[in-house]
């Protein structure tokens, strides 16, 4: 695994550059157990995921995901990861990302799925007219997204302005009314305050057809990590966490491009040692697939 990982390092670096060259990315993070040296116990490391996927806006660029490992959740890690990125960062309201929006290079796009989940969790335990109405109103916004998925960004923006913008304006006015009546300690009031506090970032998608209503792209990318945690106990070291991030990057990107990850990795490992480093992009999943198809046609 170690030798293979070293061979794949240039490929993962090319993948990182590709993902971060986009003008919009999705980001999230998740804990991962790592063996702490010396005491036989585990500590909590972190896997950060960054996703480039513009297919819902009718853009034909290849989707890709890059994972990065860190030994903790300090904000300095995403700051380092995104030091050269400029554009929209679509993420949950994670404390690790907040400082990134202080300059003009990166602007925040929040996640309506995260805001809706707060109302849903309360509704499951104790349904009320307010949680019912909130879920219904947010659901109407998602209904519009279903209608425009895959349309060009310009058309998406135009439809959102005509249909979603009035719903968002009404939703804000509706939320402000019960907030004045509910106890400040109420969980429902907390869910409303969360939405209103992030209102600018939550509604930014309505003004840009390239943006999404939520951060589902990043959450989907992390499902593989959650599944992996069920199949292994921990990473053996920080370097093991870095190797895991590299493999998750290539496997996740292969899946996004509808390739069999096992077949892809096997074939890449056969070719990469002899492959010119200045043509490493040819081994990225979408290019590799095209190259294989072209070769088959020629044969």
pLDDT at 292: 54
Q: What angle do CA 114, 251, 7 make, to 5 degrees?
A: 135
Q: How many CA atoms lie within 13 A of 129 on its CB side?
A: 3
**Phi, psi dihedral angles at 200 (to 5 degrees):** -60, -45
Which tokens belong to 284? 């990225």
Low-confidence ranges of the chain (pLDDT < 50): 293-299
57 to each of 126, 151, 203, 208, 210, how far by Cα in Å? 37, 6, 17, 10, 5
Report the alpha-carbon angle 273-279-280, nearest 5: 55
**What local confidence, expressed as pLDDT, does residue 103 receive?**
86
Q: Are 66 and 45 in contact (CB under 8 A)?
A: no
Q: Are 95 and 198 in contact (CB under 8 A)?
A: no
pLDDT attached to residue 116: 97
Mark out the alpha helices in the chain (DSSP H runs): 2-20, 76-81, 95-98, 112-125, 129-148, 153-159, 165-179, 187-197, 199-203, 216-229, 238-256, 261-271, 285-298
Cβ of 225: how many Cβ atoms within 10 Å? 19
Tell me, what's the pLDDT at 240? Answer: 83
Provide the pLDDT for residue 234.
59
How much is the pLDDT for 293? 46
Residues across the chain = 299
CB 202 within 8 A of CB 192: no
Cα–Cα distances in Å, from 163 out to 17, 114, 141, 143, 207? 36, 22, 9, 10, 12
pLDDT digits over 17-72, tens only?
999 999 999 999 998 888 777 666 778 889 999 999 999 999 999 999 999 999 99
| Segment 208-222, tens digit of pLDDT | 999 999 999 999 999
């Amino acid at each position: 695994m170690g030798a293979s990982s070293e061979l794949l390092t240039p490929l993962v670096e090319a993948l990182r550059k590709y993902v971060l060259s986009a003008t919009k990315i999705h980001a999230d993070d998740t804990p991962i157990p790592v063996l702490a040296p010396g005491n036989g116990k585990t500590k909590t490391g972190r896997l950060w995921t960054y996703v480039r996927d513009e297919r819902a806006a009718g853009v034909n660029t290849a989707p890709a995901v890059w994972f990065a490992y860190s030994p903790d959740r300090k904000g300095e890690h995403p700051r380092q990861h995104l030091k050269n990125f400029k554009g929209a960062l679509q993420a949950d309201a994670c404390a690790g990302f907040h400082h990134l929006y202080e300059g003009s290079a990166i602007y925040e796009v929040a996640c309506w799925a995260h805001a809706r989940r707060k109302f849903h969790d309360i509704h499951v335990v104790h349904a009320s007219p307010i949680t019912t109405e909130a879920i219904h109103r947010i659901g109407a916004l998602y209904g519009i997204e279903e209608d425009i998925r895959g349309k060009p960004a310009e058309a998406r923006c135009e439809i959102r302005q005509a249909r979603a913008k009035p719903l968002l304006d009404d939703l804000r006015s509706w939320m402000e009314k019960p907030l004045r009546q509910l106890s400040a300690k109420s969980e429902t009031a907390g869910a409303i305050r969360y939405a209103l506090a992030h209102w600018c970032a939550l509604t930014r998608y309505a003004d840009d057809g390239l943006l999404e209503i939520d951060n589902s792209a990043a959450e989907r990318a992390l499902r593989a990590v959650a599944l992996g945690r069920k199949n292994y106990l921990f990473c053996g070291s920080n370097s093991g966490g870095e190797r895991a991030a590299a493999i998750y990057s290539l496997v996740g990107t292969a899946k996004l491009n509808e390739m069999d990850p096992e077949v892809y990795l096997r074939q890449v490992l056969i070719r990469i040692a002899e492959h010119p480093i200045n043509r490493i992009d040819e081994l990225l999943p979408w290019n590799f697939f095209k190259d294989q198809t072209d070769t088959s046609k020629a044969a």
